[in-house]
Amino acid sequence: MRRRPLLALALPGWLAGAARAARAAGPDAPAVPALGVSRRPLRFPADHGAHPDTHVEWWYVTGWLRRAGAGDAPGRLPASDVRPEFGFQVTFFRSRTGLAEGSASRFAARQLVFAHLALTDLAAGARGGGSLHDQRVAREGFGLARTPGPSGEQAVVLGDWTLVRHAGAEGAPTALDITARAERFGLALALAGTQPLLLQGEAGYSRKGPLEHQASHYYSEPQLAVHGRVERAGQAAVEVAGRAWLDHEWSDEYLPPQASGWDWVGFDLADGGALMAFRLRRPDGSALWAGGSFRDAAGTLRNFGPDEVRFEPLRTWTSPRTRIAYPVEFALETPAGRFRVAALQDDQELDSRGSTGSLYWEGLAALRRAQGPDAGWGYLELTGYGDRLKL
């Protein structure tokens, strides 16, 4: 599930640095063939790349982190019996503008690339100021931004923010690097796959509404082992370990006109399982469509139908900046069980009006059963609670 690009202007302050970084990363790579969104098998590595014939696309990584311990090793999942200290989100979006489709000019702004970066510091949040975020936008090409090609090293680049998928032999574990630094914080993370890809919906064809064309191609990579470094301005860098979740999704019509926004969760479970659930909401708060999946630690996958997922808000938090009320605690009912979703910090609102044009809440959360320790940690996303989300 994910995202929200709107047409925006690039901010001039970082254009020169963006050009240098993207030129160093190499020339613009070719894209996968124009295939649209249809019931077809996904093919890798090509479908890790960009799909510029579709309207909107995102590469989205969220996860939880703690200070690395003596037993942590790169490429291995850290133990999940220590409460997270940090949460992070790194998202790159591609949006087809629909402009100058018939023009051969290199100056035609056919594709825009956006990026959001966020860090939740739970210890700092207890004192205030525990949620940091930044955003960027540029047109693709001219050394400003690029999206991945169908093979080789597949990189999303926006200035000096990068998400790189390293090429490997067929069947080799995923190897990703994230580098992104903002004025007040930064991330340098290596992510290693520990499980196969999880194809959402019907083998990667994910319905998003009652009409057949309201669908996306969507796959996830849960239980990524994370090792790296978190930086905050004025503080020593912290070596960290944790777990992450990657979503890659592309679509022509993701949000039906009857919907105002969505609620989404993605959790890496402590036992090695993975749970994703979403609902698209009407303006009155009722569910228009829903779905999700559960893969247990043994690898058995169960996809959820639209009538099998229910989100019941239990508690709201009102932003002191925007006065938008967000439900930050839910009862979640799925075929995999009934859970409680609870934000680990209330204030995780993101203001992306300088890039994709929206206000939304996205943050680190716990998945809890009626009794016992947390079942897992992951991310909760809430969109369309101020104004209707525009894709």
CB 74 within 8 A of CB 190: yes
Name the CA radius of gyration of the chain, rounded: 19
Q: Where does residue 351 rank: exposed (0-12), middle (13-18), buried (19+ CB within 10 A)?
A: middle
Q: Tell me what pLDDT residue 12 has.
A: 33
CB 149 within 8 A of CB 219: no
204: left (phi over 0), alpha (psi -120 to 50) or beta: left
Task: Report how far residue 299's alpha carbon sits from residue 198's, in angstroms, rounded to the nearest whole number.
Answer: 10
Task: Let me know if domain 12-383 sits in CATH 2.40.370.10.
Answer: yes
CB 120 within 8 A of CB 87: yes
Neighbouring-strand partners of residue 342: 329, 366
Q: Which two tokens stand for residue 176?
A: 């990703």
Ranges of residues in the chain whose predicted pLDDT is under 50? 2-27, 29
- pTM for this entry: 0.89
Neighbours of 270 (CB within 10 A): 17
Q: Tell me what pLDDT residue 6 has.
A: 31
Q: Tell me what pLDDT residue 257 has.
A: 84
Domain range annotation of the chain: 12-383
Task: Report how far residue 56's alpha carbon sits from residue 339's, in angstroms, rounded to the nearest whole number.
Answer: 31
Residues in the chain, total: 391
Q: What is the pLDDT of residues 44-58, one digit of tens each?
A: 999 999 999 999 999
Q: Tell me what pLDDT residue 18 has.
A: 36
Q: Show the CA angle centred on residue 75, arms to residues 71 and 81, nearest 5°.
A: 45
**Of 324, 323, 306, 321, which is closest to residue 382 (Cα–Cα)?**
324
CB 234 within 8 A of CB 313: no
DSSP state of 46: G
Neighbours of 103 (CB within 10 A): 10
Amino acid at site 325: A
Which helix (H) or strand (E) element contains residue 15?
helix 15-25
Q: Tell me what pLDDT residue 14 has.
A: 32
- How many Å from the N-terminal Cα to the C-terminal Cα in the chain? 13
Task: Report how far residue 343's alpha carbon sits from residue 339's, in angstroms, rounded to the nearest whole number.
Answer: 13
Amino acid at site 249: E
Q: Tell me what pLDDT residue 389 has.
A: 62
